[in-house]
Amino acid sequence: MDNTLFTSLRKYKTVEGKDPVENFITEAFTWILKNYPEFSSYYLARLSEKLNHNSDFSKHEWDTQVNFNGVFPDLVCKMVGNVAYVFEHKARAHLHPNQLENYRKVAQDKFTQYKIILVSGDVSQHAQNPDLSLCWRDVYRWIEEWMASKKEDNNLDLFIFDSFINLLDNEGLGPVDAITHESILYFLQSRHFLRDVRNLINIVHKTEIVKLNSLTELSDFKLIEQDQWGRIGFGLPSNLWRPGIFIGIMAEWEDHRISPILGDKSPDFVIIISFSQDLHNEYPNDSDFIKLVNELSAVFEKEKNGWKFYNHLNDRKVIEKNKINKWHPLYIRKPMIEVFRGTKTNEDQVKRFMDCANEVLPIVLKSEHFINLRTKYKQ
């Protein structure tokens, strides 16, 4: 769902069943190193520091897939004095038997001095005793540090660096958050929470599905259970979003690229309006969509009964980070902790769920603009 340069280019077909991600990342990173000499020098300085190696990289040259007598390291940097850093890049794969030793055999005859550097997706791939082992997340952080030092340089476009670290993120090679003390303490409770939410939705489905369906006046609307993309609740319909609606709990929000109202203090109870991918270039400029946004914004302008209307397409923070998710643009939501405050039994919570459905769903389903969108985009 990202549209940054490198993630877009990444979407090419695999060759003979093999994912060429390692070559892709190498070529992309090498392009940056060749075209941004100031960053290239910074990268070499960080490597030299880690290696405890004094090298003169005032003049240097980067080459990919250099032929070492029939073996091909991913990247070689040649420096002053016939000194070289020889890189092997791994994403998910492990080293081949004797891979680094084969590089050493050639490098010791080819260069006055050399260092073998392994950059991989995870420390579990570190093997064969390179002079330096790194993870891509280390490179990611160095790029972030260098970018931070250049924020005041108006003549430098950092888009390409953002695109590259976005690629690493999308390939699962970016920084991994540390396990927090709270997450350890509440691990079992969180597992019980998701189980209990699913249990609640199942009870609603068994006891209230007829009432939920009675809220719809469009004959092709079917309420079904849905537990996908971090949502636990009901979809109307499941995946034919022309447009569709979801009602339930947003247990995880990374896929949707939104933050809960109360941050990590509570998930949200949500009603989401969603659009299929083939409509993404069309619906934002549709007059009925614009009028629906204005209508819902007016209804919930003063947080009617605690409900908040959120238009994801107008979220400035999301736009600046190029993280728009056009599948799910419109939300009517309230912190889950507020929805179920004071409830003690499943029956209490099922009733509260239905109170929310009765309060919000008709506002959307009976809107002439929503009905118009359903009609014009119907397959």
DSSP string spanning 238-294? SS--SSEEEEEEE---TTTT---TTGGG--EEEEEEE--GGGTTTGGG-HHHHHHHH
Q: 76: pLDDT confidence band, cut at 50, 70 and 90?
A: very high
**181 pLDDT band (50/70/90 cuts)?**
low
Sign of CA dihedral 71, 72, 73, 76: positive
Mean pLDDT of 11-36: 74
Residue 219: band (very low, low, confident or very high) from pLDDT cuts 50, 70, 90: very low
> Is residue 121 situated within a structural domain?
yes
Question: Do 24 and 97 share a structural domain?
Answer: yes
Residues 208, 77 within the same domain: no
- For residue 176, being part of any structural domain is answered with no
Of 170, 197, 213, the position where a domain reaches its end is 170
Pair (204, 333) in one structural domain: yes
Query: Which of 113-127, 212-226, 246-260, 316-330 tops mean pLDDT?
Result: 113-127
Q: What band does 179 get if pLDDT is binned at 50, 70 and 90?
A: low
Residue 133 lies in a domain: yes
Residue 122 and residue 268 in one domain: no
Q: What's the pLDDT at 356?
A: 95
Last residue of a domain, one of 170, 192, 224: 170
Q: How high does pLDDT run on average in the chain?
A: 85
For residue 274, is it within any domain? yes
Given strand 75-79, what is the order of strands in its sheet? Answer: 60-64, 75-79, 83-89, 113-120, 132-135
- On whether both 81 and 23 belong to a single domain, the answer is yes
**40 shares its domain with 156:** yes
Which residue segment(s) compose the domain that 231 sits in? 182-376
Same domain? 227 vs 142: no
Task: Give the list of residues 6+ apart from residue 139 with CB closer than 8 angstroms, or none.
Answer: 29, 43, 119, 168
248, part of any domain: yes
* Total of domains in the chain: 2
Instruction: Tell me, yes or no, whether 104 and 214 share the same domain.
Output: no
- Nearest-5° Cα angle at 291, 285 to 293: 85
Final residue of a structural domain among 111, 139, 170: 170
- In 3D space, the residue among 127, 129, 159, 125 whose CA is nearest the CA of residue 143 turns out to be 159
